[in-house]
Amino acid sequence: MKGLFFVLSLLGVCLTTTAQDSIATPQHRHDLDSSDVFFQHMQLNEVTVTGVTGDTKLKHSTVPITLVNAKELRSNASSNIIDAISRQPGMDQLTTGSGISKPIIRGLGYNRVVVMSEGVRQEGQQWGDEHGIEVDGGSVGSVEILKGPASLMYGSDAMAGVVILRPQPILPEGEMRGSFSSEYQTNNGLMGYSLNMGGNHSGFVWDARWSGKMAHAYWNDYDGYVPGSQFREMSGRLMLGLQKQWGYSRLTGTLYHQIPGITEGERNPLTGELTHGEDWSGHSYGKWLPYQQVRHYKMVWDNSINLSYGTLKAVVGYQQNRRQEYEEAHHHEHEDGEHEEHEEHEHGGEDEPSLYFKLHTVTYDLRYLTHEFRGWKLSGGVQGMWQQSQNLGFEYLIPAYKLFDIGVYATASKQWKRWTLNGGVRMDHRHLHGEALEEDGALRFTDFSRNFEGVTGSVGAVWNVNDRLNLRINVARGFRAPNMSELGSNGAHEGALRYEIGNQQLKPEYSLQVDLGVDFTSRYVSAQLALFANRIDNYIYLRGEGREIDGHPVYSYTQNDARLLGFEAGVDVHPIHSLHIENTFSYVDARQLHQTDELKYLPYTPAPRWTSKVKWELIHHSHPTVGAHSHHVHHSKGLSADNLYIAAGMDYYLKQSHVLSVDGTETPTPGYVLVNLSAGSDLTWRGRKIAELYVIADNLLNRTYQSHLSRLKYADINSVTGRQGVYNMGRNISVKLVVPINIL
């Protein structure tokens, strides 16, 4: 397998399409000429987004939405799809090593962020610290990040916002194209590839993809190679469908298999070095105990039917998530009383997992959207899900449970020449039943049921003052029911290094958020400012109790009212068409109300961040496209570079001293600066693009630092240096190669 990865990575061939670079739906695609920056930004306003009711042009959206297109995703170095978008304004990631990332939007994460993939909400074990998003980044064509409460359209859990992972656009009629991409990263030896084929013949559309990725332990100057930070990943996707005048019907199946190591951060008390298993090597791509095994299967049937006065959409999905955790050695007593000891090693067969969650999820979404009439657009629908979670291991953290969720909503929007108003209301009901469990004669989990109801809504307006200036305001009420981890936990969470206790009396969270936004675009300057104020009633969080169970510090779930204030600001100065000077700043102040100093801040609040980037396009020529003018087409006699650019960037994370300090839950994090350098180019042969090449150097100066949102920050103290925890990755240089080929 290691040799296969190496060969596939060296092949480095990726077939991609111009359409795949677009973030718009097919009817709103544009080929942008960077020789006219003002024209680019004007066309960006015409892009259609799906994060709001129906399909809406970006300039008419009342809520703040960030778009990340395929070209931008490819030109960044990352280990997963959340890592790839984590530098966007207002966006951060909670990390466990290099392989696991959880999205944080404006200081809120876990079950407060909904991730949409293949048209359905991604349901795994998102309540857990070390549980990432089970989606292949290679299958993502573009990303929409909706910031702020979105319970109106997505129900419970969309309190912080929504990350919509959109697949590659459907190919035009009569075309068949494929892709094979590869990349390599120097720090953790990451090697990845993605093979893709798709087509459209007489309305029959199909797309198939197979991807693989593997990485050994990452390295930094303080810790050396970090045991348990290695991972493997394999994934596949198959879509079959019909695209006709009456609408479309598509059936998509995906599978995802990841084997991430578990970084415990234990150290030798004499040397201070991180401990690891016998014969362990930092360059090994193999499995070393402890580790997880994650499998996620998904099937989605997506339908859209064009009717006389509107569109009927129906999406049904089934997901199965299997998460297993394997430990160094364990003892398990069978029902017959016989006591066995199990051991695992890299080359041996797999044994019983200690923790084993198996989660079944069925989601449904039926909605009707009217065509525009006299500026009005109406929609209404019903959506929800059914879940069943099983405990199949012999260690327990949360009860087995069943969940049923249903929501009904209606929205309306009205558009004038310069104004857009929209709003809606929604009612949700969720039933949750936790099952009892007796262990060694003692009751581990009690049998209990809870019902939660929520009424949410939003109202907003956009004023397109002129072609250059947009003003936005939106008021939204969010709702989130407690999850089973918060209600019923009773066990050692090994990956989180603590013993967690739930609270069955928790109330649902409600939020009220106000958003204000300004967008300005001119030929030489583009600027955005988004401000928000968010009040959350019954905010749920973990806090230490100051005691231990079986050597683990005990943390229990509690709740209190909270408020969050913050903003994102960005400016892009382009004095000439080939030069961009971009700056963004993100800030969140998240506090609990009426609390003492050690309890007044919310946990896992991102540090203020300033990003700066200078991009210089050295060579730019347009490639022949439909409707392109002949004088824009550049032909070369042989191999040449096109769209060549170099970029230098800086990520400045300010000191974060606003922490939940009770019982050492969090500690302050000093500020640090990361310097990045990148370059990219299209390679052409006689005027035709044959490849895309990217070279990205992250943390170029090899700064040793700890992210405030890294869970490894709280691992063991180094007895020699006095430093606590594990540090983030050092210098990392990535190389990506992409070769577009049209088959038909």
Strands (E), 186-309: 191-201, 204-215, 219-220, 224-225, 231-244, 247-260, 291-306
The pair of structure tokens assigned to 67 is: 């778009």
- CA 430 and chain centroid, separation: 25
2-738: CATH architecture: Beta Barrel (2.40)
Segment 586-591 shows an average pLDDT of 96
Predicted confidence band of residue 45 (pLDDT cuts 50, 70, 90): low
Question: Which of 36-50, 109-123, 288-302, 439-453 has the weakest average pLDDT?
Answer: 36-50
**Which of the pair, 247 or 627, is modelled with greater confidence?**
247
Q: Who wins on pLDDT, 31 or 459?
A: 459
Distance CA 151, CA 479 (A): 6
DSSP code at position 150: -
List, for residues 702-721, the tens digit of each pLDDT value. Answer: 999 999 999 899 888 999 99
Q: For 591-614, write each residue's pLDDT tens digit.
A: 999 988 888 999 889 999 999 999
Contact 181, 736 (CB under 8 A): yes
Give the contacts of 188 (CB within 8 A, at least 6 positions apart).
79, 98, 215, 216, 217, 218, 219, 229, 230, 729, 732
Confidence of residue 627 (pLDDT cuts 50, 70, 90): very low
Contact by Cβ (8 Å): 51, 65: yes
The pLDDT of residue 202 is 93
Q: Please name the residues in contact with 103: beta carbons below 8 A apart, sequence gap of 6 or more.
A: 82, 85, 86, 91, 92, 93, 109, 113, 115, 133, 163
Residue written as token pair 């970084």 = 263
- One-letter amino acid for residue 269 of the chain: P
Residue-wise pLDDT for 368-414, tens only, equals: 999 989 889 999 999 999 999 999 998 899 999 999 999 999 999 99
The Cα 183–Cα 204 span in angstroms is 32
The count of other CB atoms within 10 Å of the CB of residue 96 is: 24
Q: What is the pTM of this model?
A: 0.89
Q: How many angstroms separate the CA atoms of 109 and 672, rounded? A: 23
Q: What is the DSSP letter of 597?
A: G
| pLDDT exceeds cutoff 80 at 115 | yes
d(CA 65, CA 272): 46
Compute the distance between CA of residue 314 and CA of residue 302 in angstroms, rounded to an integer: 6
Burial of residue 616 (CB within 10 Å: 0-12, 13-18, 19+) is middle
* Tokens coding 160: 């912080």
Q: Where are the domains of the chain?
A: 2-738
Dihedral sign (CA 345, 350, 353, 354): negative
Average pLDDT for 122-126: 89
Residue 690: per-residue pLDDT = 86
The 10s digit of each residue's pLDDT in 410-448 is 999 999 989 999 999 999 999 999 999 998 888 999 999
Beta strands in 334-468 (DSSP E): 339-343, 355-370, 376-391, 401-415, 419-434, 437-439, 442-445, 448-464
What's the pLDDT band for 128 if we cut at 50, 70, 90?
confident
Q: Which residue has the tokens 């925890």?
A: 725
pLDDT digits (tens, 9 = 90+) for 500-553: 999 999 999 999 999 999 999 998 999 999 999 999 999 999 888 888 888 788
Q: Could you give the CA distance from residue 742 to residue 402 in angstroms, rounded to a whole number?
A: 48
For residues 651 and 672, is the Cβ–Cβ distance under 8 A?
no
- As to burial, measured by CB atoms within 10 angstroms (0-12 exposed, 13-18 middle, 19+ buried), residue 131 is buried
> Running DSSP on this structure, what letter comes out for residue 524?
S
CA-CA distance, 737 to 290, in Å (whole number)?
A: 34
Is residue 379 within 8 Å of residue 367, measured between CB atoms? Answer: yes
| 13: phi then psi, degrees, rounded to nearest 5 | -115, 125
CA angle 225, 231, 237 (to 5 degrees): 155
pLDDT-derived band of residue 10, with 50, 70 and 90 as boundaries?
very low
Reduce the secondary structure of 58-109 to three states and give it as a string: HHHCCCCEEEECHHHHHCCCCCCHHHHHCCCCCEEEEEECCCEEEEEECCEC
Beta-bridged to residue 274, according to DSSP, are 267
Res 688: pLDDT: 84
Q: How far apart are CA 277 and CA 279, in angstroms?
A: 6
* pLDDT tens readout for residues 308-342: 999 999 999 999 999 999 886 544 444 444 444 44
pLDDT digits (tens, 9 = 90+) for 56-106: 778 888 888 999 998 899 888 899 999 999 999 999 998 887 788 999 999
For the chain, give the mean pLDDT: 86
Q: Concatenated DSSP letters for 15-75?
A: ---TGGG--S-GGG-----TT-HHHHHHHHTT-EE-SSSSSEEGGG-SS-EEEE-HHHHHT
Confidence class of residue 744 from pLDDT cuts 50, 70 and 90?
Answer: low
448: buried, middle or exposed (CB in 10 Å: 19+, 13-18, 0-12)? middle
If we measure between CA atoms, which residue out of 106, 126, 108, 130 comes closest to residue 117? Answer: 126
Q: Any idea which residue has 């430093």 for tokens?
A: 723
H helix runs in 246-314, sequence order? none
The better pLDDT of the pair 103, 51 is held by 103
At 613, the amino acid letter reads: K
Please, what is the Cα angle at 214 between 211 and 217, to 5 degrees? 160
Greatest mean pLDDT among 11-20, 272-281, 597-606 lies in 597-606
User: Minimum mean pLDDT among 178-187, 358-367, 522-531, 620-629: which range?
Assistant: 620-629
Task: Assess contact for 223 and 187: CB atoms under 8 A.
Answer: no
366 vs 37 pLDDT, higher one:
366
Query: What does the alpha-carbon distance between residue 555 and residue 92 come to, in Å, rounded to a whole number?
Result: 24
Q: Which amino acid, residue 604? A: Y
Residue (of 562, 498, 571, 563) closest to 528 by Cα position: 571
Q: Is the pLDDT of residue 562 over 50?
A: yes
Residue among 140, 220, 109 nearest 480 (CA):
109
Which element (helix H / strand E) includes 488? Answer: helix 484-488
What's residue 440's pLDDT? 84
Alpha helices by DSSP H, 133-243: 151-154
pLDDT of residue 350: 56
Half-sphere exposure of 742 (CA within 13 A, CB side): 12
Tokens representing residue 242 in the block: 């019909």
Is residue 298 scored above 80 in pLDDT? yes
